C-alpha cells in the first residue's frame, strides 16, 4: 500500500520551505528522494503539480487545489492523533467491553462494578458472562477474564486470582449419603462434573502418609459447563462438586456447603487472568480496569 499521507506531507513541506533540499532536511530525506516522491505522486495523479526553478517552487492550478486539500487532510490526521494520545493519557473514558467466566463474574466481578464505575464515571461498562473461550478480536472485547492456563501467546495477560480447588457438598446431601472419609468412598457418591472439552473425569488427590499424588475416576448423573452452575447443583443437595474455592467461599462461610476430603486435597490451583490484546499503548480505560481488578481482588 502506498503512503499517500506521506507523499502529501513531502509536497506541502517542499512548497512551504521553497526547496526540495529544505524539505528533505525537515523530513530526514535527501533532495533526490523528495524529487522522486513528488514525481511519483504526479505520475499517479496524471497531473503536473508544481514547476521548479532555480530560485522557487511554483504550484500549478492543479497543485494549488491538491495542496489545499492535502493541508486539510494532514490537519485532520494531526487532530485525530492528538485526540487519541490525550485520551490514552487522560481520564479513562469510553465503552469498555469485558467478558468474564460466569463463576468469577457472579461471585467477584459484579459486586465490584459499582465501585469501579464510581471511581471512573466516564467509562461505559459492557459486561458479558460466559464460560466459552471467546476470540477477543472477533467479539470486539477489550478484556476477557479467563480461567485455566494461558495458551494464546499473541495476547497479554495479567494474573488476577489463584484459588485452590475444593470438594464441597450440602449438609442435606451428606445427611442422606454420609461423609466420604477417603477418596475411594467417592465410588458410592454422586459427583457433579463439567462437560467442557478440557474437563477430566478424574479428580486428583494427595496421599497424606507418603505425599504421593494420584487421581481417581469419578462419576455422577449431572454435568454442567460452569463452576457457578455446578455450585448451584451442589447447594441443591444433588451431589459433590469440585470447584474453585472462591466460587464456594461465601457458601462455606455460611455453612451452606461443607468441604470434604480436605486432608487428601492435592492442592491444585485454578488461575484466572485478565487477557487483552497487548501493545505498548493501552487505552486508559483498559489499563484502569486491569489495575483496579488486580488491586481489589488481592485486597
Provide DSSP, 116-155.
HHHH-TTEEEEEEE-SS---HHHHT-SEEEEES----TTE
Q: What angle do CA 222, 161, 127 make, to 5 degrees?
A: 75
| pLDDT of the residue at 216 | 93
The CATH class given to the 4-89 domain equals: mainly alpha
Paired with 276 in beta bridges are 156
Closest to 182 measured CA to CA, from 265, 255, 257, 267: 265
Residue length, the chain? Answer: 299
Question: Domains of the chain: which residue ranges?
Answer: 4-89, 93-299
pTM for the full predicted model: 0.64
**Neighbouring C-alpha atoms within 13 Å toward the C-beta of 4:** 10
| pLDDT of the residue at 256 | 97
| pLDDT of the residue at 177 | 96
Enumerate residues 6+ apart whose C-beta is below 8 A from 22.
13, 14
| pLDDT of the residue at 130 | 86
**Distance between CA 86 and CA 75 in Å, rounded?**
16
| pLDDT of the residue at 245 | 92
| pLDDT of the residue at 278 | 67
| pLDDT of the residue at 140 | 79
| pLDDT of the residue at 1 | 40
| pLDDT of the residue at 119 | 94
**Distance between CA 71 and CA 66 in Å, rounded?**
9
Contact 216, 232 (CB under 8 A): no
**Distance between CA 177 and CA 277 in Å, rounded?**
48
Enumerate residues 6+ apart whose C-beta is below 8 A from 167.
203, 240, 241, 242, 259, 260, 261, 265
pLDDT means over runs of 10, the chain (299 residues): 80 89 89 90 90 80 90 83 64 89 90 95 92 74 84 79 94 96 95 78 90 92 88 95 92 96 90 81 85 88
Contact 220, 241 (CB under 8 A): no
The dotted CATH code for 93-299 is 3.40.190.290
- The DSSP call for residue 57 is E
| pLDDT of the residue at 93 | 85
Amino acid at each position: 500500500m502506498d503512503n499517500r499521507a506521506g507523499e502529501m506531507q513531502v509536497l506541502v513541506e517542499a512548497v512551504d520551505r521553497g526547496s526540495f533540499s529544505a524539505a528533505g532536511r525537515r523530513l530526514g530525506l535527501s533532495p533526490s528522494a523528495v524529487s522522486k516522491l513528488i514525481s511519483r505522486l504526479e505520475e499517479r495523479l496524471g497531473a503536473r503539480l508544481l514547476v521548479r526553478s532555480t530560485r522557487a517552487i511554483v504550484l500549478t492550478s492543479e497543485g494549488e487545489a491538491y495542496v489545499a486539500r492535502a493541508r486539510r487532510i494532514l490537519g485532520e490526521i494531526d487532530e485525530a492523533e492528538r485526540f487519541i494520545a490525550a485520551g490514552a493519557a487522560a481520564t479513562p473514558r469510553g465503552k469498555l467491553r469485558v467478558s468474564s467466566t460466569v463463576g468469577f463474574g457472579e461471585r467477584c466481578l459484579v459486586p465490584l462494578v459499582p465501585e469501579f464505575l464510581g471511581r471512573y464515571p466516564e467509562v461505559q461498562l459492557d459486561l458479558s458472562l460466559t464460560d466459552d473461550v471467546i476470540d477477543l478480536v472477533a467479539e470486539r472485547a477489550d478484556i476477557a477474564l479467563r480461567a485455566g492456563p494461558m495458551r494464546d501467546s499473541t495476547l497479554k495477560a495479567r494474573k488476577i486470582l489463584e484459588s485452590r480447588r475444593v470438594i464441597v457438598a450440602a449438609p442435606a446431601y451428606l445427611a442422606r449419603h454420609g461423609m466420604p472419609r477417603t477418596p475411594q468412598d467417592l465410588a458410592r457418591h454422586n459427583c457433579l462434573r463439567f462437560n467442557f472439552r478440557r474437563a477430566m473425569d478424574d479428580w486428583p488427590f494427595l496421599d497424606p502418609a507418603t505425599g504421593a499424588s494420584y487421581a481417581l475416576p469419578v462419576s455422577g448423573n449431572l454435568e454442567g459447563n460452569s463452576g457457578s452452575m455446578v455450585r448451584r447443583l451442589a447447594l441443591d443437595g444433588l451431589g459433590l462438586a469440585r470447584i474453585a474455592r472462591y466460587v464456594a467461599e461465601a457458601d462455606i462461610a455460611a455453612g451452606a456447603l461443607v468441604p470434604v476430603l480436605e486432608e487428601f486435597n492435592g492442592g491444585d490451583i485454578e488461575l484466572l487472568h485478565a487477557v487483552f490484546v497487548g501493545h505498548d499503548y493501552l487505552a486508559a480505560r483498559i489499563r484502569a480496569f486491569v489495575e483496579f481488578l488486580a488491586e481489589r481482588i488481592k485486597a
